[in-house]
Amino acid sequence: MKKSVPLNIVNRIFNLGNVQLVTSAYGDKVNISTVAWLTPVEKEPPYVIVAVDKNSYSFQLIEKSGEFVLNTPTANLIEIVKFVGSVSGRNIDKVKESGLTLVNGKTIQTPSILECVANVEFIVKSIVPLETHAIIMGLARHAEVDEEFFSDHWLLEEKEIYLVHHAGSNFFCTTKFLTKVKSR
């Protein structure tokens, strides 16, 4: 069961640098892709930046709609993470081919992915074009997490949840543990 989380802790969903599945939509077109280059940059208000290939179908949909969703997969979705990041949504219906379930957005038109353990809805605040990619700065509007795996942080060891990280090319790894370090 998913629960809403306060927007001032959205950064904790992404601080580990874990891969996200980005959903984008414009009109009746919906796409899913994999993003590995992202980081929170503000806590209040909750801003995240994501690097997306400027020639990608996802970028086209995000640029037109002004919104996107970051969906957090776990290791059980690693084959889908690789698949949706390897083919273009212009040529294949990645939603249908992946078998993922889309759920209506709470505050935006872009849907989220049911099978992911976190879903954060964003509106685009700015786009900075680079050479081949663009940096998209998004402002979080709504965040939900699977209450079994996240309290105010990921319950990695307690619940044996494994978040996915891209290690380059066809290599992926997972986050295994999280520990709280006491202040001196």
Flag whether 30 is in a domain: yes
Q: Indicate the number of domains in the chain.
A: 1
Q: What is the pLDDT of residue 171?
A: 93
Residues 103 and 113: beta-carbon distance below 8 Å: yes
Segment 71-123, tens digit of pLDDT: 999 999 999 999 999 999 999 999 999 999 999 999 999 999 999 999 999 99
C-alpha dihedral (170, 10, 152, 39), degrees to nearest 10: 40
The answer to whether residue 40 is domain-embedded is yes
Query: What is the per-residue pLDDT for 158?
Result: 86
Assigned domain for 182 exists? no
Looking at residue 4, its pLDDT comes to 97
- Domain assignment of residue 35, given as a range: 2-174
* CATH code for position 122: 2.30.110.10
| pLDDT value at residue 139 | 98
What is the pLDDT at residue 168?
Answer: 92
Answer yes or no: is 181 within a domain. Answer: no
Give pLDDT < 50 ranges for the chain: none
